[in-house]
Structure 1
Amino acid sequence: MEEIIQRLIKRHHTNCPFRLAQELGIHIRYHDLGEQTRGIYYRKLRRRFIVIHDKLTDEWKRFVCAHELGHDRLHKGISRFFLEEHTFFNPGKFERQANVFAVRLLTAGDHPEPGETVEQLCARNGIPEEMRHYYGT
Protein backbone atom coordinates (compact mmCIF):
# COMPACT_ATOMS: atom_id res chain seq x y z
CA MET A 1 0.00 0.00 0.00
CA GLU A 2 2.78 2.42 0.93
CA GLU A 3 4.47 1.85 -2.43
CA ILE A 4 1.23 2.58 -4.30
CA ILE A 5 0.79 5.84 -2.40
CA GLN A 6 4.39 6.94 -2.93
CA ARG A 7 4.17 6.22 -6.67
CA LEU A 8 0.95 8.23 -6.94
CA ILE A 9 2.45 11.21 -5.13
CA LYS A 10 5.72 11.08 -7.05
CA ARG A 11 4.01 10.79 -10.43
CA HIS A 12 1.35 13.45 -9.85
CA HIS A 13 3.24 15.75 -7.41
CA THR A 14 0.37 15.89 -4.94
CA ASN A 15 -1.39 13.96 -2.21
CA CYS A 16 -4.68 15.83 -2.80
CA PRO A 17 -7.27 13.13 -3.49
CA PHE A 18 -9.33 15.42 -5.74
CA ARG A 19 -6.36 16.27 -7.96
CA LEU A 20 -5.25 12.63 -8.03
CA ALA A 21 -8.72 11.48 -9.06
CA GLN A 22 -8.80 14.09 -11.82
CA GLU A 23 -5.38 13.11 -13.13
CA LEU A 24 -6.34 9.42 -13.02
CA GLY A 25 -9.48 10.11 -15.04
CA ILE A 26 -11.91 9.36 -12.23
CA HIS A 27 -15.07 11.44 -12.38
CA ILE A 28 -16.23 12.98 -9.10
CA ARG A 29 -19.90 13.63 -8.50
CA TYR A 30 -21.82 14.96 -5.49
CA HIS A 31 -25.28 13.69 -4.56
CA ASP A 32 -27.46 13.23 -1.52
CA LEU A 33 -26.64 9.63 -0.57
CA GLY A 34 -28.83 9.50 2.51
CA GLU A 35 -27.97 9.09 6.17
CA GLN A 36 -25.84 5.93 5.97
CA THR A 37 -23.60 6.46 2.92
CA ARG A 38 -20.73 8.92 2.69
CA GLY A 39 -19.38 7.84 -0.67
CA ILE A 40 -19.43 5.29 -3.44
CA TYR A 41 -16.85 4.14 -5.97
CA TYR A 42 -18.01 2.36 -9.10
CA ARG A 43 -17.11 1.61 -12.69
CA LYS A 44 -19.53 1.84 -15.58
CA LEU A 45 -18.62 1.22 -19.20
CA ARG A 46 -14.90 1.49 -18.40
CA ARG A 47 -15.42 4.88 -16.74
CA ARG A 48 -14.66 5.30 -13.05
CA PHE A 49 -16.72 7.39 -10.65
CA ILE A 50 -16.49 8.58 -7.08
CA VAL A 51 -19.78 9.83 -5.69
CA ILE A 52 -19.54 11.87 -2.48
CA HIS A 53 -22.46 12.72 -0.21
CA ASP A 54 -23.09 16.40 -0.84
CA LYS A 55 -24.09 17.19 2.76
CA LEU A 56 -20.67 16.32 4.26
CA THR A 57 -18.21 18.86 5.62
CA ASP A 58 -15.22 19.71 3.43
CA GLU A 59 -12.99 17.67 5.76
CA TRP A 60 -15.19 14.60 5.29
CA LYS A 61 -15.51 15.12 1.52
CA ARG A 62 -11.71 15.12 1.23
CA PHE A 63 -11.41 11.99 3.37
CA VAL A 64 -14.18 10.19 1.46
CA CYS A 65 -12.50 11.05 -1.84
CA ALA A 66 -9.21 9.58 -0.53
CA HIS A 67 -11.07 6.51 0.78
CA GLU A 68 -12.80 5.87 -2.56
CA LEU A 69 -9.50 6.45 -4.36
CA GLY A 70 -8.18 3.66 -2.13
CA HIS A 71 -10.83 1.34 -3.53
CA ASP A 72 -9.77 2.28 -7.06
CA ARG A 73 -6.10 1.57 -6.37
CA LEU A 74 -6.42 -1.45 -4.06
CA HIS A 75 -9.60 -3.27 -5.05
CA LYS A 76 -9.80 -3.23 -8.82
CA GLY A 77 -12.75 -5.22 -10.12
CA ILE A 78 -14.31 -5.80 -6.70
CA SER A 79 -17.82 -4.56 -6.06
CA ARG A 80 -18.96 -4.23 -2.47
CA PHE A 81 -22.54 -4.72 -3.59
CA PHE A 82 -21.64 -8.01 -5.29
CA LEU A 83 -19.75 -9.17 -2.20
CA GLU A 84 -22.68 -8.43 0.09
CA GLU A 85 -25.36 -9.93 -2.14
CA HIS A 86 -23.67 -12.94 -3.75
CA THR A 87 -20.88 -14.15 -1.47
CA PHE A 88 -20.15 -14.85 2.18
CA PHE A 89 -17.03 -12.65 2.05
CA ASN A 90 -16.98 -9.75 4.51
CA PRO A 91 -16.58 -6.37 2.75
CA GLY A 92 -15.42 -4.85 6.06
CA LYS A 93 -11.82 -5.83 5.29
CA PHE A 94 -11.88 -3.73 2.11
CA GLU A 95 -13.42 -0.78 3.97
CA ARG A 96 -10.67 -0.91 6.62
CA GLN A 97 -8.00 -1.06 3.91
CA ALA A 98 -9.54 1.94 2.15
CA ASN A 99 -9.59 3.87 5.46
CA VAL A 100 -5.92 3.08 6.08
CA PHE A 101 -5.12 4.10 2.50
CA ALA A 102 -6.94 7.42 2.99
CA VAL A 103 -5.13 8.23 6.24
CA ARG A 104 -1.73 7.31 4.79
CA LEU A 105 -2.37 9.32 1.62
CA LEU A 106 -3.51 12.41 3.50
CA THR A 107 -0.57 12.26 5.94
CA ALA A 108 2.05 11.17 3.36
CA GLY A 109 5.43 12.71 4.05
CA ASP A 110 4.27 14.29 7.29
CA HIS A 111 5.34 13.15 10.74
CA PRO A 112 4.46 14.29 14.25
CA GLU A 113 6.46 17.32 15.30
CA PRO A 114 8.26 17.16 18.66
CA GLY A 115 5.63 17.00 21.38
CA GLU A 116 2.79 16.55 18.89
CA THR A 117 0.35 13.67 19.33
CA VAL A 118 -0.92 11.46 16.53
CA GLU A 119 -4.36 13.03 17.00
CA GLN A 120 -2.86 16.50 16.49
CA LEU A 121 -0.97 15.34 13.39
CA CYS A 122 -4.15 13.89 11.95
CA ALA A 123 -6.15 17.02 12.79
CA ARG A 124 -3.48 19.15 11.10
CA ASN A 125 -3.86 17.00 7.99
CA GLY A 126 -7.66 17.19 7.94
CA ILE A 127 -8.41 13.63 9.02
CA PRO A 128 -11.85 13.38 10.67
CA GLU A 129 -11.64 12.48 14.35
CA GLU A 130 -13.43 9.14 13.84
CA MET A 131 -10.77 8.00 11.36
CA ARG A 132 -7.62 8.96 13.29
CA HIS A 133 -7.20 5.52 14.84
CA TYR A 134 -6.24 4.22 11.37
CA TYR A 135 -2.96 6.16 11.55
CA GLY A 136 -0.11 3.73 12.09
CA THR A 137 -2.22 0.72 11.14
Structure 2
Amino acid sequence: MDDTIAKLTKRYKTNCPFTIARALGIHVRFHDLGQSTRGVYYRKLRRRLIVIHNELSAEWQRFVCAHELGHDRLHQGLSRFFLEEHSFFHPGKFERQANRFAVKLLTSTDTIGAEETVERFCTRHGIPGEMHQFY
Protein backbone atom coordinates (compact mmCIF):
# COMPACT_ATOMS: atom_id res chain seq x y z
CA MET A 1 0.00 0.00 0.00
CA ASP A 2 2.81 2.41 0.89
CA ASP A 3 4.55 1.73 -2.43
CA THR A 4 1.33 2.35 -4.35
CA ILE A 5 0.78 5.68 -2.61
CA ALA A 6 4.41 6.71 -3.07
CA LYS A 7 4.24 5.94 -6.80
CA LEU A 8 0.97 7.86 -7.22
CA THR A 9 2.16 10.96 -5.37
CA LYS A 10 5.51 10.94 -7.13
CA ARG A 11 4.01 10.46 -10.60
CA TYR A 12 1.24 13.05 -10.24
CA LYS A 13 3.11 15.41 -7.86
CA THR A 14 0.10 15.67 -5.53
CA ASN A 15 -1.81 13.76 -2.91
CA CYS A 16 -5.16 15.25 -3.97
CA PRO A 17 -7.46 12.28 -4.65
CA PHE A 18 -9.54 14.25 -7.17
CA THR A 19 -6.47 15.16 -9.24
CA ILE A 20 -5.11 11.61 -9.09
CA ALA A 21 -8.47 10.09 -10.06
CA ARG A 22 -8.77 12.45 -13.03
CA ALA A 23 -5.21 11.63 -14.14
CA LEU A 24 -5.98 7.90 -13.93
CA GLY A 25 -9.06 8.35 -16.10
CA ILE A 26 -11.53 7.72 -13.30
CA HIS A 27 -14.69 9.79 -13.63
CA VAL A 28 -15.83 11.44 -10.39
CA ARG A 29 -19.49 12.36 -10.05
CA PHE A 30 -21.62 13.79 -7.25
CA HIS A 31 -25.16 12.53 -6.65
CA ASP A 32 -27.64 12.04 -3.83
CA LEU A 33 -26.86 8.54 -2.57
CA GLY A 34 -29.33 8.49 0.30
CA GLN A 35 -28.78 8.44 4.03
CA SER A 36 -26.39 5.52 4.45
CA THR A 37 -24.05 5.68 1.43
CA ARG A 38 -21.17 8.15 1.25
CA GLY A 39 -19.59 6.89 -1.95
CA VAL A 40 -19.39 4.11 -4.50
CA TYR A 41 -16.62 2.85 -6.76
CA TYR A 42 -17.87 1.19 -9.91
CA ARG A 43 -16.03 -0.45 -12.77
CA LYS A 44 -17.82 -1.54 -15.90
CA LEU A 45 -15.72 -2.86 -18.78
CA ARG A 46 -12.97 -0.24 -19.07
CA ARG A 47 -14.87 2.66 -17.51
CA ARG A 48 -14.18 3.50 -13.89
CA LEU A 49 -16.43 5.73 -11.87
CA ILE A 50 -16.43 7.17 -8.34
CA VAL A 51 -19.76 8.52 -7.15
CA ILE A 52 -19.73 10.71 -4.03
CA HIS A 53 -22.76 11.76 -2.02
CA ASN A 54 -23.33 15.40 -2.91
CA GLU A 55 -24.51 16.49 0.54
CA LEU A 56 -21.29 15.57 2.36
CA SER A 57 -18.97 18.27 3.67
CA ALA A 58 -15.89 19.08 1.56
CA GLU A 59 -13.75 17.24 4.13
CA TRP A 60 -15.82 14.07 3.76
CA GLN A 61 -16.00 14.34 -0.04
CA ARG A 62 -12.22 14.47 -0.21
CA PHE A 63 -11.89 11.49 2.14
CA VAL A 64 -14.50 9.46 0.25
CA CYS A 65 -12.74 10.15 -3.05
CA ALA A 66 -9.46 8.90 -1.52
CA HIS A 67 -11.25 5.86 -0.08
CA GLU A 68 -12.80 4.93 -3.43
CA LEU A 69 -9.46 5.52 -5.14
CA GLY A 70 -8.09 2.97 -2.67
CA HIS A 71 -10.60 0.42 -3.97
CA ASP A 72 -9.43 1.14 -7.52
CA ARG A 73 -5.77 0.66 -6.66
CA LEU A 74 -5.99 -2.15 -4.09
CA HIS A 75 -9.02 -4.22 -5.08
CA GLN A 76 -8.95 -4.35 -8.84
CA GLY A 77 -11.45 -6.81 -10.25
CA LEU A 78 -13.42 -7.14 -7.01
CA SER A 79 -16.97 -5.95 -6.64
CA ARG A 80 -18.30 -5.36 -3.16
CA PHE A 81 -21.81 -6.15 -4.36
CA PHE A 82 -20.65 -9.48 -5.80
CA LEU A 83 -18.86 -10.36 -2.56
CA GLU A 84 -21.94 -9.65 -0.45
CA GLU A 85 -24.38 -11.56 -2.65
CA HIS A 86 -22.38 -14.53 -3.98
CA SER A 87 -19.77 -15.46 -1.39
CA PHE A 88 -19.21 -15.98 2.30
CA PHE A 89 -16.42 -13.40 2.32
CA HIS A 90 -17.24 -10.26 4.27
CA PRO A 91 -16.24 -7.01 2.52
CA GLY A 92 -15.32 -5.31 5.84
CA LYS A 93 -11.62 -6.11 5.34
CA PHE A 94 -11.62 -4.27 2.02
CA GLU A 95 -13.37 -1.26 3.55
CA ARG A 96 -10.75 -1.06 6.32
CA GLN A 97 -7.96 -1.28 3.72
CA ALA A 98 -9.56 1.48 1.66
CA ASN A 99 -9.91 3.66 4.79
CA ARG A 100 -6.24 3.10 5.64
CA PHE A 101 -5.28 3.90 2.04
CA ALA A 102 -7.25 7.16 2.20
CA VAL A 103 -5.63 8.25 5.47
CA LYS A 104 -2.14 7.38 4.23
CA LEU A 105 -2.71 9.16 0.91
CA LEU A 106 -4.06 12.32 2.52
CA THR A 107 -1.16 12.48 5.00
CA SER A 108 1.56 11.30 2.60
CA THR A 109 3.16 14.72 2.10
CA ASP A 110 3.86 15.28 5.80
CA THR A 111 5.12 13.58 8.93
CA ILE A 112 3.70 13.77 12.40
CA GLY A 113 5.45 16.30 14.64
CA ALA A 114 7.43 15.26 17.70
CA GLU A 115 4.85 16.58 20.15
CA GLU A 116 1.81 16.33 17.88
CA THR A 117 -0.98 13.86 18.59
CA VAL A 118 -2.37 11.57 15.91
CA GLU A 119 -5.74 13.30 16.28
CA ARG A 120 -4.23 16.75 15.74
CA PHE A 121 -2.15 15.52 12.78
CA CYS A 122 -5.17 13.93 11.10
CA THR A 123 -7.36 16.95 11.79
CA ARG A 124 -4.70 19.21 10.28
CA HIS A 125 -4.93 17.15 7.08
CA GLY A 126 -8.72 17.29 6.91
CA ILE A 127 -9.38 13.70 7.88
CA PRO A 128 -12.77 13.22 9.56
CA GLY A 129 -12.58 12.29 13.24
CA GLU A 130 -14.12 8.85 12.73
CA MET A 131 -11.22 7.93 10.47
CA HIS A 132 -8.31 8.89 12.74
CA GLN A 133 -8.07 5.28 13.96
CA PHE A 134 -6.83 4.21 10.52
CA TYR A 135 -3.62 6.29 10.75
Q: Which TM-score band (shorter chain)?
A: over 0.9
**Cα shift readout 1:11-41 (whole Å, capped 9, x = no counterpart):** 1100000000000000000010011100000
SS of equivalent to 1:102: helix
Aligned to 1:92: 92
Quote how far apart the aligned CAs of 1:112 are: 1.7
The residue that corresponds to 2:133 in the other structure is 133
**What SS class does the counterpart of residue 112 from structure 1 fall into?**
coil
Amino acid at match of 1:69: L
Q: Which residue of 1 aligns with 2:30?
A: 30
Residues matched between the structures, number: 135
**Structure 2 length normalisation: TM-score?**
0.98
Q: CA RMSD in A?
A: 0.7
1:27-68 deviation digits (Å, cap 9, x = unpaired): 000010011100000112310000000000000000000000
2:89 partner SS: coil
Q: State whether residues 84 and 90 of structure 2, in contact with CA within 8 Å, keep that contact through their aligned partners in structure 1.
A: yes
Contact 2:15 2:109 in 1 (8 A): no
TM-score, scaled to structure 1: 0.97
Give unmatched runs, 5+ long, in structure 1: none
d(CA) in 2 for partners of 1:101 and 1:33?
Answer: 23
Secondary structure at the counterpart of residue 111 of structure 1: coil
What per-residue deviation string (whole Å, max 9, x for no partner) do you get for residues 77-116 of structure 1?
A: 1000000000000100000000000000000031122321
Note the residue ranges of structure 2 that are not aligned, 5 or more in a row. Answer: none
Within the alignment, does 1:65 sit opposite 2:65 as a pair? yes
Aligned to 2:10: 10
Distance 1:45 1:134 in 2: 31
> In structure 2, what is the Cα distance between the partners aligned to 1:96 and 1:113?
25
Instruction: Calculate percent identity across the aligned residue pairs.
Output: 67
Aligned mates of 1:122, 1:76 — CA distance in 2: 27
